[in-house]
Amino acid sequence: MPRGLPRTALIGAAGALAAFALFFGDGSTYPPLVWIGGLAVLAAAVGVALVLLGVLEFPKLDGFGVAFLALLGWFVLWNGLSIVWSLQPDRSWEYFNRGTVYFAFALLGVLVGAASTRSVRAVALGLLGLFGAVLLWALLGKVIPNLVPDGERIARLREPLDYWNALALVGAMTLPLALWAAVRREHPWLLRVGSVVLAFAALVVVLLTYSRGGVVVALLAPAAYIALTRKRVEAAAALAVAVVPAALLCLWAFRQPGLVDDGQPYDVRLREGLWFAIGLLLAGAVVAGVAFLGVTHEDRWRSRVSVRFSRRQLAALVAVPAALVVLLFLVADPIDRARDSYREFTNPVTSAGTGPERLRDFGSNSRWTWWGEAWQLWEDNPVAGTGAGTFSLARRPLRTNTTVATEPHNLALQFLSETGLIGFLLAAGAGVAAAFGIVRALRRLDDAEAAAGLPLAVLALAYLAHAVIDYDWDFVGVSAPLFLVLGVLVAAGRPAIEAVREPFFAAGAVVLGVAVLGSLASPWLASRSVADAYAALERRDPNGAVDRAGRARTLNPLAVEPLFAEAVAEEARGNEGEALELYIRAVELQPENSRTWFELGRFELDAGLREWGIRHLLRSRELDRWGPSDPVLGRLGI
């Protein structure tokens, strides 16, 4: 087999998987992770097997690269180990599976980084194209609302990632890549001009998500790139060409009810969407025209611009307008204004709304409350945490309202509360090792590769900054490309390890990949069996429901949903003793889950076991004051 063929296949597979994650990740839901992650795991396993057969090369990583992979792997294993003490072991299993998928993407990135001497540039261009396709699809959803799910009703941009903040993060990560592609003279003029237009589109998308965190990161990411690149003036000029038309277009769009209000009739949404398309094309044409003039007359305007900004000068230029904005904000009464903003941010009941007006709002949308809850959970479980993925359940005894939160919307607090200090240090260590590995990579690569690596490094910084205010770990659409990039950067430019031929270990790598695929699929298959059980009950087939629920219990013995489904089926068959035993098993499996106590107490009340039912409903209310047991007890006068 020609050596170039498996390398090309590897790079193509990595690109396809990144595309799948971006377009079909379906937000933070688990089912897409099964097939996207399964393909990534199998691709990584096959890649390692080909290395062990001497077909592919594996880079001789430096200490930081080894530490990155090792600490990331240990963090994933620690997530899996937390199943032992987890409040919700089935969720911890799913988070272990999610971590294995991200590790597989990182390993794929390492293999891609070793596959070509131009791997960094190829990945940068590939991600630029993928991000551009994502942004184009998002804008098409604004023009023709019924192209995207629920687009007829919801105006705020969120597809194809199914979450506006994740889409805004993709827009922010696009900006440094677009600026890099626009300022490199070796790139074709069409790519350079198109990249400026893409930067314009990214800014429009970010603003139309109304994501305040996304806007902040979209300001920080290009600023960081401009500060770090040698082509500061060119990058700043390209950004300026994109910013002004994007801002003007969005200011107009914010005043069109059909573009920003959820309750508008579809014909209004479509009509104003078409007007938006005209404005988008006109503004894009202006951006393209100015960019074309800049690219084709670069030498002429370069000779007229004699100033060359140092990093300190650039910082001063950025600091002056920033200081003016702060002064304008504080001019009325700095102390009162700052105090009001702080109160607004920390108020647990304020909501920023769903329209563009939220961009002026300082409310945290309950984040401050969730951060406090996560910190308290960590203080109560400082070493090992409550179990990976358990924040939603663990916070219920602490919550003071009915607000639901999957995660605390802060990656550091998420890892601290769920995996404890050990998990946090492992994850932080992996991040620090990756950072040092990237710095070394940018120093050892040649000029073209290092120039391509810089926006990829800034992309990682953008993810980290956004993770301070959101739960990006749960979104394969943004996390999978990140780990692919990290793997590429720590491996790029490293010499290859001497080829080895170990067929036995190669087979073991494939077997391990299949085993991980089984771990990924089991919770999903169990959920499908639970759904089939309830469908059988609707068909009045309790025997079939018991069989399907039993299959779900076999596939996922850590979950309580199969026990509930089987208990309901046994009730339908008239076997109240069997149903009671199943509800008791659910409580024993997850004794800190208020729902297990509620289902047991509800059944006991219906079965005439009033004293036991009330006792168990009271325990459910202790675990969740705002849960379903409270209204039941209220009707009983308790």
What does the pLDDT read at residue 153? 81
What does the pLDDT read at residue 348? 63
Give the pLDDT band of residue 328 (cuts 50, 70, 90): very low
Q: Choose the weakest-confidence range: 204-208, 281-285, 403-407, 488-492.
A: 403-407
What does the pLDDT read at residue 559? 97
pLDDT (tens digit, 9 = 90+) per residue, 250-270? 999 999 998 888 878 888 889
Look up residue 603 and give its amino acid: F
What is the Cα–Cα distance from 142 to 152, expressed in whole angstroms?
A: 10
- Contact in structure between 368 and 350 (CB atoms under 8 Å): no
Determine phi and psi for 496, rounding to 5 degrees: -85, 145
- Contact in structure between 46 and 513 (CB atoms under 8 Å): yes
What does the pLDDT read at residue 342? 54
Q: Which tokens go with 547?
A: 């069989």
- Contact in structure between 208 and 250 (CB atoms under 8 Å): yes
Q: Give the rounded distance of the alpha carbon of 339 from its chain centre.
A: 32
What does the pLDDT read at residue 253? 94
- Contact in structure between 234 and 164 (CB atoms under 8 Å): no
What is the Cα–Cα distance from 216 to 208, expressed in whole angstroms?
A: 14
pLDDT (tens digit, 9 = 90+) per residue, 283-327? 999 999 999 998 887 777 665 654 455 555 555 555 555 555 455
Give the pLDDT band of residue 69 (cuts 50, 70, 90): very high
Non-local (6+) Cβ contacts of 521 within 8 A are 34, 38
What is the Cα–Cα distance from 85 to 603, expressed in whole angstroms?
A: 28
pLDDT over 80 at 438, yes or no: yes
Over residues 216-220, the mean pLDDT reads 95
Over residues 58-68, the mean pLDDT reads 95
Q: Choose the weakest-confidence range: 48-62, 221-235, 320-334, 571-585.
A: 320-334
Give the pLDDT band of residue 332 (cuts 50, 70, 90): very low
SS (H, E, C) 503-559: HHHHHHHHHHHHHHHHHHHHHHHHHHHHHHHHHHHHCCCHHHHHHHHHHHHHHCCCC
Q: How far is CA 143 from CA 55, 248, 269, 554, in A?
A: 48, 18, 8, 47
What is the Cα–Cα distance from 225 to 449, expressed in whole angstroms?
A: 15
Q: Single out the residue of 493, 492, 484 nearest to residue 130, CA to CA.
A: 484
Q: Single out the residue of 427, 491, 495 nearest to residue 456, CA to CA.
A: 491
Q: Which tokens go with 287?
A: 């951006």
Cα Dmax for the chain? 90
pLDDT over 60 at 617, yes or no: yes
Non-local (6+) Cβ contacts of 528 within 8 A are none
Buried b (16+ CB within 10 A) or exposed e, 510-525: eeebeebbebbbbbbb
| Higher local confidence (pLDDT), 37 or 347 | 37
pLDDT (tens digit, 9 = 90+) per residue, 87-115? 999 999 999 999 999 999 999 999 999 98
Q: What is the DSSP letter of 588?
A: H
pLDDT (tens digit, 9 = 90+) per residue, 604-616? 999 999 999 999 9
Q: Which tokens go with 286?
A: 């202006």
Q: What is the DSSP letter of 494?
A: P
pLDDT (tens digit, 9 = 90+) per residue, 163-176? 999 999 999 999 99
pLDDT over 90 at 479, yes or no: yes
Question: For the chain, how are helix, strand and coil distributed in percent, rounded to 5?
Answer: 75, 0, 25
DSSP states of 82-115: GGGT-SSHHHHHHHHHHHHHHHHHHHHHHHHHHH
Q: Which tokens go with 53?
A: 């057969």
pLDDT over 60 at 337, yes or no: no
Over residues 133-138, the mean pLDDT reads 97
What is the Cα–Cα distance from 209 to 61, expressed in whole angstroms?
A: 40
What does the pLDDT read at residue 1? 44
The percentage of residues in the chain with a pLDDT greater than 90, rounded to a whole number, is: 79
What is the Cα–Cα distance from 156 to 154, expressed in whole angstroms?
A: 6
pLDDT (tens digit, 9 = 90+) per residue, 351-361? 666 678 878 77
SS (H, E, C) 457-477: HHHHHHHHHHCCCCCHHHCHH
Over residues 127-151, the mean pLDDT reads 92
- Contact in structure between 599 and 608 (CB atoms under 8 Å): no
Tell me the sheet residues that pair with 59: 496
What does the pLDDT read at residue 113? 94
What is the Cα–Cα distance from 459 to 481, expressed in whole angstroms?
A: 10
Q: Which tokens go with 326?
A: 């702060």
pLDDT over 60 at 467, yes or no: yes
Over residues 56-79, the mean pLDDT reads 96
What does the pLDDT read at residue 361? 75
- From the CA atom positions of the chain, what is the Rg in Å? 27
What does the pLDDT read at residue 351? 63
pLDDT over 80 at 632, yes or no: yes
Mean pLDDT computed over every residue of the chain: 90
Determine phi and psi for 288, rounding to 5 degrees: -65, -40
Look up residue 482 and give its amino acid: L
What does the pLDDT read at residue 329? 46
Q: Which tokens go with 266?
A: 């579809």
Over residues 444-456, the mean pLDDT reads 95
Q: How far is CA 349 from CA 342, 352, 367, 470, in A?
A: 14, 10, 11, 18
Give the pLDDT band of residue 451 (cuts 50, 70, 90): very high
Tell me the sheet residues that pair with 496: 59
